[in-house]
Amino acid sequence: MSAKNENPKSEFYHDRVVTALVMLAIVWAVLGMAAGVYVAAELVWPTLDFGEPWLSFGRLRTVHTNVVIFGFGVSALMGTAFYSVQRTCHVPLFLPRLAWFVCIAWQIILLLGGLSLLAGITSGKEYAELEWPFDIAIALVWVCFGIIFFGTIAQRKIKPIYVSNWFYGGLIIVITMIHVVNSLAMPATLFKSYSLFAGAQDAILQWWYGHNAVGFLLTGGFLGMMYYFLPKQAERPIWSYRLSIIAFWAFTYSYIWAGPHHLHYSAIPEWVQSLAVVMSLILLAPSWATMINGIMTVSGAWQKLRTDPALKFIVLSLAFYGLATFEGPMMAIKSVNVVSHFTDWTIGHVHSGALGWNALITFGTFYFLVPRLVGRELYSVRLANIHFWLALAGTMLYVLAMWGAGVSQGLLWLSLDEFGELRYSFRDIMASMPPYYLLRLVAGLIFLSGAILMTFNLFKTISGARTIQVRPPAVRGAGASV
């Protein structure tokens, strides 16, 4: 890190917008997770909605998913993409004022969008609930994000485009494509529109969007984060750079067709379902290649795990990444899906990825990034270590509770009596769920308390400090084009 003053200001990396996005992501994380805990409590004590529509499960649940994915997740991805693309290109950010526009406009969309969901305004499409004015605004901001990112790459001073940029680039291109197509609708009023698609086509399109949002945002985007921040933190290059690039293309090749596994045994064509199974199973190869690549990068630096909470979070996130990307293809197999579909097993699977992979790698990245942004030591390593164990305990308890609930639901649902009729009604099955749901609530509270500790720790780290100025290296690497 450097703070020399003899260079023109334009030669410094633009990191203030990164600091803003990281701190905003932390705020969204706490708000979104708190909403998740509240809806988990509502499943134990349904009267917690107090008869208020805006406190009902249906509205708060969409607020929870939107805030954690688009508030916490996307703000973190924008911040880390801006941070890493400058450094891996050895140039300051392209159009830094546009980056500030992206940062601020995104927060306004989230704030107003969240309020619209609380008011019951929704398009009814999962993970794309916001109505058409927000859809247009999201597309515009996302295109601006792309202009900054690819503009920075275009003016890079070294020849190779580092692998993290391939993943961030894939995130920007694919999310633009699926968001625009999935959101095509005919507006009826300011807050009501009707999709251009109907029936089975609408369903296929919805999960083409839904699963690729998981693929290219929650998986690909965060892999970009991993490929940059893991080598930084481990102080070692990625174990196999060739493998990382091949895995990127294999990942992109197979992910795009996996979405219809959300629609097994439905009215969509049988061959589309079978294709989704095949593509989902193929996905196991690039996913585990990436996990092994990440774990092997830490090989030889294991001693750092004893003292470095950021690296602990990142390595643990890779273990959960391996778990979730093994479980996903298994659940896509139709004979497994017949048990898991429409049960809490799916919720457990989603959260083993969302908590274990997305949240943990972001926490680890933030513990690394925030002190470097302000040129200070982390306020408390002890608090970060406590957070690590709370996050691990919360994730494990959550996943185990939902596995128990989901497998029970699936098997009870398939249970037939001697006349071939359902042995248990839906009501019977749900009556056996409160212990699992209570465990899930406790798990959520544990995870949330860890996130609050992190918030305190990082805000204390940054309190009263300013983002320091850092320059690109004076001497270019041997692979430089200039």
Let me know: does 68 contact 28? Beta carbons within 8 Å. Answer: yes
For 216-274, give the DSSP string. Answer: IIIIIIHHHHHHHHHHHHHTS--S-HHHHHHHHHHHHHHHTT-GGGGGTTSSS-HHHHH
∠32-320-272 over CA atoms, to 5°?
A: 85
Q: Which of 231, 259, 309, 394 binds another protein (CB under 8 A)?
A: 231
CA-based nearest residue to 37, from 466, 361, 441: 441
| 191 burial type by CB count under 10 A (0-12 exposed, 13-18 middle, 19+ buried) | middle
Q: Report if residue 94 touches another protein, rule: CB under 8 A.
A: no
Among residues 235 and 377, whose Cβ is nearest to another protein?
235
Q: Report if residue 278 touches another protein, rule: CB under 8 A.
A: no
Q: % helix / strand / coil in the chain, to the nearest 5?
A: 75, 5, 25
Q: Report if residue 41 touches another protein, rule: CB under 8 A.
A: no
Q: Report if residue 196 touches another protein, rule: CB under 8 A.
A: no
Q: Report if residue 470 touches another protein, rule: CB under 8 A.
A: yes
Alpha carbon distance 185, 192 (integer Å): 10
Q: Which of 209, 257, 320, 368 binds another protein (CB under 8 A)?
A: 257
Alpha carbon distance 297, 138 (integer Å): 36
Among residues 238 and 383, whose Cβ is nearest to another protein?
238
| Strand-pair partners of 192 | 189
Q: Which of 152, 164, 183, 461 binds another protein (CB under 8 A)?
A: 164
Number of chain residues interacting with another protein (CB under 8 A): 42
Among residues 93 and 429, whose Cβ is nearest to another protein?
93
Let me know: does 19 contact 78? Beta carbons within 8 Å. Answer: no
Q: Report if residue 267 touches another protein, rule: CB under 8 A.
A: no
Q: Which of 53, 120, 124, 477 binds another protein (CB under 8 A)?
A: 477
Q: Report if residue 9 touches another protein, rule: CB under 8 A.
A: no
Tell me how far, at minimum, the Cβ of 18 lies from another protein, in Å: 13
Q: Under rule CB under 8 A, which residues in 363-382 are in contact with another protein?
A: none
Taking the CA atoms of residue 23, residue 24, residue 27 and residue 29 in that order, the dihedral angle to the nearest 10 degrees is -100
Q: Which of 38, 134, 162, 168 binds another protein (CB under 8 A)?
A: 162
Q: Which of 16, 87, 304, 460 binds another protein (CB under 8 A)?
A: 87
Q: Which of 104, 144, 177, 246 binds another protein (CB under 8 A)?
A: 246
Among residues 232 and 376, whose Cβ is nearest to another protein?
232
Tell me how far, at minimum, the Cβ of 163 lies from another protein, in Å: 8
| Three-state DSSP state, 11 | helix
Q: Report if residue 265 touches another protein, rule: CB under 8 A.
A: no
Alpha carbon distance 426, 353 (integer Å): 28
Q: Which of 9, 242, 306, 427 binds another protein (CB under 8 A)?
A: 242
Q: Report if residue 237 touches another protein, rule: CB under 8 A.
A: yes
Instruction: State the DSSP H helix or E strand holding residue 350, giving kind and residue range, or none if neither.
Output: helix 344-353
Interaction site with another protein (CB under 8 A): 1-4, 13, 84, 87-88, 90, 158, 160, 162-164, 228, 231-232, 235-238, 241-242, 245-246, 249-250, 252-253, 256-257, 269, 272, 275, 470-474, 477-479
